[in-house]
Amino acid sequence: MITVGHLINGQTSADGGRTQDIYNPSTGAVSKQVALASKITVEHAIAAATAAYPSWRNTPAIKRARVMFKFKDLLEQNAEKICALIGEEHGKISHDAAGELQRGIENVEYACCAPELLKGEHSKNVAPNIDSWSEFQPLGVVAGITPFNFPAMVPLWMYPMAIVCGNCFILKPSERDPSSTLFIAELLKEAGLPDGVMNVVNGDKEAVDVLLTDERIKAVSFVGSTPIAEYIYETASAHGKRCQALGGAKNHAIIMPDADMDNAVAQLLGAAFGSSGERCMALSVAVAVGDEAADQLVAKMSEAMKTLKIGPCHDADNDFGPVITKQHQQKVFSYIDSAEQQGANIVVDGRNPSVKGYEDGFYVGGTLIDRVTAQMDSYSAEIFGPVLQVLRVNTMQEAMDLIDAHEYGNGTCIFTRDGEAARYFSDHIQVGMVGINIPLPVPVAYHSFGGWKRSLFGDLHAYGPDGVRFYTKRKTITQRWPSAGVREGAQFSMPTLS
């Protein structure tokens, strides 16, 4: 059986220690194994990155960017293979995997702008014969810890920008679907990146804890669940590291009485059920303002859901595929059970999906639950499955209060034809990413991604301008070259321009 190993100092190998099974979620069968890095293996990767750093730090930004230009070409040339690897281990349908990869490539394109992004600021004659400027210098060796749901895109949020800024990088991807991530890292080596600048260690908590505590690691990026994000942030910060840790979400859509209901339903279908709901930006709650809007939404949504196609990753006619593991499938089922037991109405039930020929796959059908309340367990938790819950409120303000009261503040949207309502919503809602008639308001690569409240630990968001700031440190230099023969006496007061 194939064992997925590590990429350390340009060499791919397994360390011969612990392994873990990798499943094909479409079939439910074990397809490969992944090596779980030991402490020593991770330390070897850190040592390789540390050794590569001085030379890479001093490589001109334009030469670092040229590696990214070549990397982008290789990603596009190998897109079909990358998408197949994603599907085989994540279960994502090919068209969804292609969308994920494209969003990742857009971050590589932004990283190609490094010579412009890293330009500092300069002021001449801030005082007589004194010039001052700032520049952005790399941190050193930095690390990324990424989730299973976007094995291509989320790592590409991190290391392209970190690397073009002059850092060396260690990536710890999800051990559930590591093959596409490792293959993409090998393409970066093919693009001309020197050995040691980019390293991949597969593993579990043992590998993570080394990255969080080793003094040679200067910063850590993380995307995952909120409990783990909080642990990552607290541990990394306690060890003196810069950290951004993106956590969980419970994304709401407000459905106003004046909304274009057919458009809202079409948008909600993809936003709630695409990628089997395994997205941190998945729209999992529809808050309908008024019973008339709620009844219309539920009727139209339940009818539209009859056309949903669920099945294996290789069939592009399917809308979405399985969830990642058998355990997660049962967890999603348990939240549907609890909603029913606590009084909600299961309008469309996805607990017994029928996928002919793939009965052992980890499938959850599209599920619609009406008359959910904020007190229900299914509302509080991030289900991370193809489940859309409908809550009913009387006013827009009541809907906003409901959203603001939730511990998560990742994404939200409003469906309305009223510009005044949309403007008020976007200005006052306590959520980091907001859509107006757009259910998945994921920022483009030249903006930055991040939520509020317990959806983000740290001050800087992911990728975009915040990515540049996260992977660099500002240095300000002030200089004077005294004129020949001109010397000033000692000054004991604070220097000023007065």
What is the spatial distance between Cα 241 and Cα 253, in angstroms, rounded to a whole number? 36
Interval 289-319: pLDDT, tens: 999 999 999 999 999 999 999 999 999 999 9
**Per-residue pLDDT averaged across 474-495, rounded?**
83
Please report, rounded to a whole number, the percentage of residues in the chain having pLDDT higher than 70: 99
Count Cα neighbours of 367 within 13 Å in the Cβ-side half-sphere: 32
Q: Is the pLDDT of residue 365 over 80?
A: yes
Helix 179-190 × helix 79-90 angle, to 10°: 160
This prediction has a pTM of 0.95
For 378, the enclosing helix (H) or strand (E) is helix 377-380
What distances in angstroms separate CA 433 from CA 57, 254, 462, one per listed residue? 34, 14, 12
Q: Please state which of the ranges 23-37, 120-134, 331-345, 388-402 shows the lowest mean pLDDT.
A: 120-134
Q: What is the DSSP string of 194-220?
A: PTTSEEE---SHHHHHHHHH-TTEEEE
For 59, the enclosing helix (H) or strand (E) is none
Q: What is the mean pLDDT of the chain?
A: 96
Confidence of residue 486 (pLDDT cuts 50, 70, 90): low
- What are the residues whose beta carbons fall under 8 Å from the beta carbon of 93, sequence distance 6 or more? 87, 313, 315, 316, 318, 319, 320, 321
pLDDT of residue 495: 80
Residue 138, Cβ density class (10 Å: 0-12 exposed, 13-18 middle, ≥19 buried):
buried
Residue written as tokens 């597969």?
202
Count Cα neighbours of 196 within 13 Å in the Cβ-side half-sphere: 16
Supply the DSSP symbol for 140: S
Query: Residue 356 phi/psi, 5° resolution?
Result: -60, 130
Return the active site residues. Answer: 280
Confidence of residue 223 (pLDDT cuts 50, 70, 90): very high
Using CA atoms of 439, 440, 441, 446 in order, give the dihedral in degrees to the nearest 10: -150
Radius of gyration of the chain (CA): 25
pLDDT of residue 334: 98
Confidence of residue 492 (pLDDT cuts 50, 70, 90): confident
Q: Using CA of residue 293, residue 295, residue 298, residue 302, what is the dihedral sign? A: negative
pLDDT of residue 489: 76
Give the chain's domains with CATH numbers. 3-247+455-477 (3.40.605.10), 251-436 (3.40.309.10)
Interval 332-345: pLDDT, tens: 999 999 999 999 99
pLDDT of residue 485: 67
- The tokens of 194 are what? 């020197």
The one-letter amino acid at 313: C
What is the spatial distance between Cα 311 and Cα 98, in angstroms, rounded to a whole number? 17
- What are the residues whose beta carbons fall under 8 Å from the beta carbon of 317, sequence distance 6 or more? 309, 311
Interval 24-80: pLDDT, tens: 999 999 999 999 999 999 999 999 999 999 999 999 999 999 999 999 999 999 999
